[in-house]
Amino acid sequence: MGQTQQTENSDQIDVKVIQGMYRKFVKECPSGVLFLHEFKRFFGVAPTGEASEYAENMFRAFDRNGDNTIDFLEFVAALNLVFRGDLEHKLRWSFKVYDKDGNGFVDRDELKSIIYTLYRIKKVTKTDIGETKLTVDEVTDRILSAVDSDGDGHISMEEFIQGAQQDPWVLNMLKLDMNPAGWVLEQQRRAHV
């Protein structure tokens, strides 16, 4: 019974946060579209730096039709996924963040770039499997070996989803991308401080 009440309360909080973002979208974007610089300003992200790079990747993943803008429907769909999507849907979204060139595969350079950004944002110093700090290259290699099932050096969406679901360490290393809601809420909190 306590679990049900907790879920209902978190759903109510999510609804209130989402409604606030919708109102802000309509107020700040009366044209109905959000450009990258407005997206960053919307979430209180500086034009450059670690959070800026992550915001650019999020923007690209939210821009479903690839027109370099986020319209209201894309915004609504993205927030619904971020706050309410199941693990597989979040993994699919996360894959799009990693697939910078949009070719349907994540290569070593794309993976390394995101891991590097995540390291800088999270200021990673230890892994959860011990006291040893892994380098960006070591993390990249480990993820590739765990996820690239056919060994071709490219990770397909299916390999990404299956590998992340089968390996808790990989899923943990991708945690920031797996929790875009946390990032959105953190940026909202910072914008209002």
Residue 49, both tokens = 């730096």
pLDDT at 10: 45
Q: Kindly state whether residues 100 and 73 are assigned to the same domain.
A: no
Q: Kindly state whether residues 9 and 39 are assigned to the same domain.
A: yes
Q: Kindly state whether residues 132 and 81 are assigned to the same domain.
A: no
The four Cα atoms 149, 153, 154, 157 give a dihedral, to 10 degrees, of 20
Contact between 79 and 99 under an 8 Å Cβ cutoff? The reply is: no
Count of domains observed in the chain? 2
Q: Kindly state whether residues 149 and 186 are assigned to the same domain.
A: no
Q: 156 forms bridges with which residues in the sheet? A: 105
Q: Kindly state whether residues 171 and 93 are assigned to the same domain.
A: yes
Contact between 180 and 44 under an 8 Å Cβ cutoff? The reply is: no
Q: What is the pLDDT of residues 84-118, one digit of tens each?
A: 778 888 888 888 888 888 899 999 999 998 888 77
Q: Kindly state whether residues 115 and 65 are assigned to the same domain.
A: no
Q: Kindly state whether residues 108 and 148 are assigned to the same domain.
A: yes
Q: Kindly state whether residues 115 and 172 are assigned to the same domain.
A: yes
Domain that holds residue 158: 87-178
Q: Kindly state whether residues 108 and 156 are assigned to the same domain.
A: yes
Q: Kindly state whether residues 92 and 167 are assigned to the same domain.
A: yes
Q: Kindly state whether residues 76 and 134 are assigned to the same domain.
A: no
Contact between 176 and 121 under an 8 Å Cβ cutoff? The reply is: yes
Q: Which residue has the tokens 């730096």?
A: 49
Q: What is the pLDDT of residues 139-179, one digit of tens each?
A: 999 999 999 999 999 999 999 999 989 998 888 776 544 45
What is the DSSP-derived secondary structure letter of residue 134?
A: P
| Selection from 99, 101, 77 nearest residue 89 by Cα | 77
Least confident piece of the model among 52-66, 86-100, 115-129:
115-129
Q: Kindly state whether residues 49 and 125 are assigned to the same domain.
A: no
Other residues' Cβ atoms within 10 Å of the Cβ of residue 104: 11
pLDDT at 152: 94
CATH number of the domain bearing residue 64: 1.10.238.10
